[in-house]
Amino acid sequence: MLLVHLKRVVKLGELVHSPYFGLLDAMAACEIMDPKMDSGYQNLTNLLSEYNINSDLSYNNVLAILDKLFCLQIEWFFGNPPLQTLFTSYYLHYQTPQLSYNSNASNLIFSYVHLIRLSGHFISNQVTEEGQFYEGEDFSNQLPHNVRWSQVPPYDEAKWVARSEELIMNIVDGLNIRDGILDQVIVRFKVQLLLLKICWGFYGSDKNIDELRGLLFESLELIRGLEQAYEFSESLVDSAFNFNLSNLISGQVPPRPIEHWDFAKVKQNYKNFLKSALFITNVVQNPFGLTPSATQFCGLSLDKLLKSYSSAKNCTIVQVWLQSLLLNRSSNSSYFGKLPAQEFIPMYIDWFDLSDEGKEEWTGNDYLKPIWTGVNTLMNEGLVNYTKNVSRQRREGNKLVRKWQTQVSNIMQLIQNSNLRDYLSSEDLLINLSNLIQNFLNYKKLEIMETILRLSFSLNLVNSRKDYFVNLIYLEHVLRLNHDLILNYSSLSNL
């Protein structure tokens, strides 16, 4: 019955989808007895013309498509291959009879895809050329469906970015839609333009760290607008968001449903992505005087990291960026050592998923044991009910602020007056850090939980026996970031 049904619904040549299939290919297919190839040939243009769609998409459909592309893009940033993410919908940038390029809706889609292509170009170009990584499907210049990243010469990168921004602004300004929908369109393009500039800042030929940090801060501010956009799109999941781009190309109806996107997860991934990138720019901004002789302690080489990319589930585009930036600090990539990129980005580390040896190292050290116990207690107990014993907490808060000011001042004094290599033998540093973190734990405050974890992780790195220099750089970076927070945290007394 199945064969009878297939014979009735499947036309001759429908399994052949290449316009380049000719007589020579057909003869070769007959010789190797490939049923898919020798089943016949029909011109692809004629086949698609039967399903020509003349009407424009609604703006709700357009917003849903843009959101799907953004979700797929973020999934790629977090380690998933583009063939299973972006490129399931990516070949829309080819002009087809189904989408009239003169329509506003189609203009928006094509322009949005153009930004994604350009962002992907900067990443792919850096990985394949500077990283000398040509294997694997993730960064191949030639992909299925004839999909290519935009090919932009290095000397034209700035012009392409500026031209793209001008193009998008002209298209958005020309839209004749109500304000509510227009705001939703604008916030999506702002996010994508910022992502493009961030990719350009990391992977473009001219890297400006200060400008890049400004873009990252601007992106973090835009999160609020992005959240509003997702709240709007979430109502479309059961209708327009189930619209599948591949069905639009093939003309099949009704559209095949896609999985329900976890918008909260995508937003958090995007926020983590930006924070990680910002953290990288802080590390590489060179407040530590990195020199070629010192960088031998820094990181895994870009080439090795990229070769491990295809198999490492937790290796992300952000980590590749980190290695790329570190390599650009030196003219010789051979200076770099063995530190995995994950140790630079603690938000990707399961803090308490330690091996037995790791736990023994924590609990067996006089300085680390109270930290380990306190952090475990903090995480197990969860948030503290701050409404209890308010007056006692005020008094303790005043005392703790004074203690923190003294202890952090001592630590910063050590940093300023000591050679980085002397950190390892500085018992005073470990004592001060241990006391500082213990006081953090005694006063369990939500805003400083991340500081507790970062300082604990830093102290563990410093106490380890490998990659001393990079660990110390990270430790100093954490202290610098939290210096003002701790010294000016007088608001504790008002709890």
Instruction: Confirm whether 224 is domain-assigned.
Output: yes
How many Å separate Cα 354 from the centre of its chain? 25
Domain match, 376 and 270 both: no
CA distance linking residue 285 with residue 477, whole number of Å: 11
Cβ–Cβ contacts within 10 Å for residue 262, how many?
11
The predicted pLDDT at position 219 comes to 61
Residues 6+ apart with CB under 8 A from 470: 297, 298, 299, 337, 339, 343, 344
Tell me the CB-side half-sphere exposure of residue 446, using CA atoms within 13 A: 6
Domain match, 246 and 382 both: no
Domain match, 213 and 256 both: yes
User: What is the mean pLDDT of each successive set of 10 residues along the chain, which is 495 residues long?
Assistant: 58 47 58 51 48 59 75 65 53 44 66 79 65 49 47 65 74 67 77 76 58 60 55 40 34 35 59 51 36 28 34 40 39 30 29 40 44 39 34 50 51 47 46 52 44 47 42 48 44 33
- Which residue among 267, 284, 301 closes a domain? 284
**Cβ(249)–Cβ(96) below 8 Å:** yes
CA distance linking residue 270 with residue 74, whole number of Å: 7
CA distance linking residue 119 with residue 240, whole number of Å: 26
Domain match, 181 and 212 both: yes
Residue 231 is encoded by which pair of tokens?
Answer: 């709240």
Domain match, 40 and 128 both: no
- Which residue among 230, 258, 284 closes a domain? 284
**Cβ(184)–Cβ(63) below 8 Å:** yes
How many Å separate Cα 418 from the centre of its chain? 36
Question: What is the chain's percent helix, strand, coil content, to nearest 5?
Answer: 65, 0, 35
Range of the domain at 251: 59-284
Instruction: Confirm whether 486 is domain-assigned.
Output: yes
CA distance linking residue 382 with residue 246, whole number of Å: 46
Strand partners, 23: none
CA distance linking residue 426 with residue 415, whole number of Å: 11
Question: Residue 147 in 3-state DSSP?
Answer: strand
Domain match, 206 and 253 both: yes
The predicted pLDDT at position 22 comes to 54
Each residue of 307-337: pLDDT tens digit? Answer: 333 333 333 444 444 444 433 333 333 222 3
Instruction: Confirm whether 264 is domain-assigned.
Output: yes
CA distance linking residue 480 with residue 471, whole number of Å: 14
Instruction: Confirm whether 388 is domain-assigned.
Output: yes
How many Å separate Cα 480 from the centre of its chain? 24
Instruction: Confirm whether 306 is domain-assigned.
Output: no
Domain match, 277 and 403 both: no
Residues 6+ apart with CB under 8 A from 201: 207, 208, 211, 212, 215
* Closest residue by Cα to residue 183 from 172, 171, 196: 172
Domain match, 127 and 239 both: yes
Q: How far is CA 232 from CA 225, 227, 228, 363, 402, in A?
A: 11, 9, 6, 49, 47
Domain match, 71 and 16 both: no
CA distance linking residue 302 with residue 321, whole number of Å: 9
φ, ψ of residue 238 in degrees (nearest 5): -80, -5
Angle between helices 104-125 and 157-173 (to 10 degrees): 160
Q: Which residues of 440-472 are buried (b: 16+ CB within 10 A; e: fewer)?
A: bbebbbeebbebbbbbbbbbbbbbeeebbbbbb
By CB neighbour count within 10 A (0-12 exposed, 13-18 middle, 19+ buried), where does 23 fall?
A: exposed
Domain match, 410 and 459 both: yes
The predicted pLDDT at position 14 comes to 47
Domain match, 84 and 181 both: yes
Each residue of 179-231: pLDDT tens digit? Answer: 667 777 777 787 788 777 777 766 555 555 556 556 655 665 565 555 555 54
Torsion of the alpha carbons at 455, 461, 462 and 466, rounded to the nearest 10: -170
Instruction: Confirm whether 219 is domain-assigned.
Output: yes
Residue 73 is encoded by which pair of tokens?
Answer: 């893009």
Domain match, 220 and 362 both: no
Sequence letter at residue 284:
V
Q: What is the CA radius of gyration of the chain?
A: 27
Number of domains in the chain: 3
Cβ–Cβ contacts within 10 Å for residue 36, how many?
8
Instruction: Confirm whether 194 is domain-assigned.
Output: yes
Residues 6+ apart with CB under 8 A from 165: 193
Instruction: Confirm whether 39 is domain-assigned.
Output: yes
**Cβ(100)–Cβ(106) below 8 Å:** yes
Put simply, whether the predicted model's pTM sits higher than 0.75 gets the answer: no
Residue 257 is encoded by which pair of tokens?
Answer: 């449903």
Strand partners, 147: 143
- Which residue among 284, 302, 330 closes a domain? 284
Question: Residue 116 in 3-state DSSP?
Answer: helix
Strand ranges in 133-200 using DSSP code E only, listed in sequence order: none
Element (H, E) at 438: helix 427-442
φ, ψ of residue 396 in degrees (nearest 5): -65, -35
**Cβ(298)–Cβ(339) below 8 Å:** yes
